[in-house]
Structure 1
């Protein structure tokens, strides 16, 4: 695929906060964005995503998605869209793989608990925490903090949901150290990564919800666009097992959303000749057509009503929030409960002290958080299965 004129260019003197290694020191023939992707994949934060909640908290089964498998699926979708549009696939993939690195244990339930615990200290936001993770917490190199990723990658993570008018303390602090032009839209690669995220969780959460028994086919077919696809799949594969037809319907839905996003984004980007013009456009360019966007909103509303706010999900979320809240309270009262390396670098003053405690908890997997609360309080929470 020919590179589009509005694609990000890894050879255009990519900027890193702490500079970059000379060409003679590069480890293999990789572009700047390939190196970003590889640094993310090899990070400890990325590995821990395998035991962090996507939809179901500590699920009893190997077939449910975690933050890691979700990120891989987002990356696959993102690369398909990027290739069709002539964008840089490596930057798109890196953004997809890194977009959830700031999620604490237990997904949004854990985030809510950390936000409450940090209310007097500036709050907590998983998007900003992703930047904090790759810029300050992951420190595998001897001469600087962070993974030292390119400006393009960091900008895309910071603006995963678009321009940031009022950054919270974490993002504001990082932006002051390495300005990320927060008021503009990011590259098309970053916008595509956000669309791929929506496509992945919209559809793969249906798959997990059906497997768990929280969603039923008849409920799904109350959405006319899914009912149309179901009838089409039944006609195409008469007599096939229902389970296979359901998975085929989900694949078809993903394909329709991908094709729609490609066509709509290509039209929106028509006439642009550089990534600078993408950022100067003043509006979102990558996304769905109005008709598909309306369907996607209806699907999200359905999923919140039937899956994310299911009574069993709410009950598990409350238990998970209690785990995170109790961990924060324990470490705030007695910091010696933290590992020695974390305790040794814990600031004495607030709010920095609370923020480092939040960093430690945010990096935990679901399993580690449950083990930690059990060690501190003597009992593990009932109703949360240890993965």
Structure 2
């Protein structure tokens, strides 16, 4: 096991910097590219739990991601400290690149939510529901009811009918933003290892956990295969540092969601502690006092809600981070290979049970509140409404779209005006692969299908990249409400 084979300077394209830089400098370059990207800035106006929240103290996707970044850094440093104490840094190829190790973890944590659509999981549901109902019909109209190939039926259509934030995140940083990050940095972001078109029960690798959601789209499949080959990652396996990012996210959001509920007055200190203890008792049947002891330790006389949350969070984050680091060391051979088919905070531990308890309390008593559900319903309706408004772009032929690109007069004046509203960066991401199709030996039928697939991706890119408030404004603007 040599981490210098996993942490490399290789980028998807040659860097504009002519002088050769070492791996630490390259990860610092990753940091600059990521932090200055518009994808990160948009997170400040995307939902964490409370859509359209005006209270700046309540978390957005950006503030949540910053917390995940710090937790990931904490875990990574504990892992490196353990390897140092064991005298294994040289053996593992980590001596001298410890900063690069931490940088990769931190930036994967900061980016882990960049692919999330407006209104979170409700946004995902809106896109997927509309696509499953209408995408096939749109293609039939665009193609003049042409017969479809196996590629279309088994890959392209299933791919656009399953939007997933993790897969969209890979697309944003590699295809839309073209950040040209190192292969190691992109790999650290890929949480799941199957393409969106591949059914979960047909992954063929035996990794049910690593394949429970899509990790990338067909559009990025070649890129992923290049990265896997370069880093020596077997098909269906994961990059080792991704396990740390995943643990940091689990630790951060399960506590943060309850803290925000207390800040907004949805839960009081007494109801929160009561819900936690009841849920814990129901799950472990009195066989463990792990979480009740943490609650009791945080609950001192005359403590405020803020004081309780601070003490509770500090103790639990320290415990969970220490456990995640310990598991990384204990399961290191599997983790390095990317074959550990479970999270670092695993299902057989008190620590995992604590996470599940916190998540269940949030699900039962926070996510179902009117403060959360009403804006989610508005966002769901607005996103589906925008998809319907932009539908004409999906129902015209490839030749008609090409004429719009050339800025020629079009009889489809509605579609033409809709096309003009699409961001230039996204249109360029559509034009690159479609231009390559023209020079390829692909059959005429598959060229037509692939053009429509990339056109569909163009619209999904645009809508999923919107912020919560922009979705509502754009829907109101175009529907004249």
Question: Please, which moves more after superposition, 67-76 or 245-254?
Answer: 245-254
CA shift, 1:165, in A, is 8.1
Which residue number in structure 1 is paired with residue 309 of structure 2?
Answer: 246
Q: Contact 1:102–1:127 (CA<8 Å) still a contact in 2?
A: yes
Q: Contact 1:184–1:282 (CA<8 Å) still a contact in 2?
A: no
Q: Contact 1:159–1:186 (CA<8 Å) still a contact in 2?
A: yes
CA shift, 1:167, in A, is 4.8
- Pick from 458, 462, 473: which aligns with 1:360? 462
- Pick from 215, 229, 233: which aligns with 2:298? 233
Q: How is 1:138-157 mapped onto 2 (pairs within 5 angstroms)?
A: 138=177, 146-157=178-189
Q: Contact 1:164–1:183 (CA<8 Å) still a contact in 2?
A: no
Which residue number in structure 2 is paired with residue 287 of structure 1?
Answer: 345
Q: 1:45 to 1:267 in 2, by over 3 A?
A: same
- Pick from 15, 26, 32: which aligns with 1:20? 15
- Aligned pairs, number: 358
Q: Report the Cα distance in structure 2 between the residues aligned to 1:246 and 1:110, rounded to whole angstroms.
A: 30
- Pick from 136, 161, 185: which aligns with 2:175? 136
Q: TM-score, normalised by structure 1?
A: 0.82
Q: Contact 1:158–1:171 (CA<8 Å) still a contact in 2?
A: no
Q: 1:344 to 1:40 in 2, by over 3 A?
A: closer
Structure 2: 5+ residue runs without aligned partners?
Answer: 81-97, 136-156, 194-208, 229-233, 281-289, 393-413, 432-447
Q: 1:183 to 1:298 in 2, by over 3 A?
A: farther
CA shift, 1:160, in A, is 5.0
Q: Contact 2:323–2:351 (CA<8 Å) still a contact in 1?
A: yes
Structure 1 or 2, whichever has the larger Rg, is 2
Q: 1:30 to 1:153 in 2, by over 3 A?
A: closer
Q: 1:46 to 1:156 in 2, by over 3 A?
A: same
Question: Please, which moves more after superposition, 14-23 or 98-107?
Answer: 14-23
Which residue number in structure 2 is paired with residue 258 of structure 1?
Answer: 321
Which residue number in structure 1 is paired with residue 115 of structure 2?
Answer: 102
Q: 1:117 to 1:254 in 2, by over 3 A?
A: same
Q: TM-score, normalised by structure 2?
A: 0.67
Structure 1: 5+ residue runs without aligned partners?
Answer: 139-145, 380-387
Q: Report the Cα distance in structure 1 between the residues aligned to 2:422 and 2:309, rounded to whole angstroms.
A: 50
Q: 1:344 to 1:167 in 2, by over 3 A?
A: closer
Match of 1:56, SS? coil
Match of 1:188, SS? coil
- Pick from 247, 268, 280: which aligns with 1:195? 247
Which residue number in structure 2 is paired with residue 278 of structure 1?
Answer: 336
CA shift, 1:344, in A, is 6.1
CA shift, 1:21, in A, is 4.1
Q: Report the Cα distance in structure 2 between the residues aligned to 1:280 and 1:56, rounded to whole angstroms.
A: 35
CA shift, 1:230, in A, is 2.4
Q: Report the Cα distance in structure 1 between the residues aligned to 2:52 and 2:452, rounded to whole angstroms.
A: 33
* Root mean square deviation, CA, Å: 2.9
Which residue number in structure 2 is paired with residue 57 of structure 1?
Answer: 51
Which residue number in structure 1 is paired with residue 277 of structure 2?
Answer: 221
Q: Report the Cα distance in structure 2 between the residues aligned to 1:277 and 1:259, rounded to whole angstroms.
A: 17
Q: Contact 2:192–2:213 (CA<8 Å) still a contact in 1?
A: no
Q: Contact 2:345–2:351 (CA<8 Å) still a contact in 1?
A: no
CA shift, 1:378, in A, is 2.6
Which residue number in structure 1 is paired with residue 361 of structure 2?
Answer: 302
Match of 2:452, SS? coil
Segments of 4+ in structure 1 off by > 6 A? none
Q: 1:252 to 1:358 in 2, by over 3 A?
A: same
Which residue number in structure 1 is paired with residue 91 of structure 2?
Answer: none
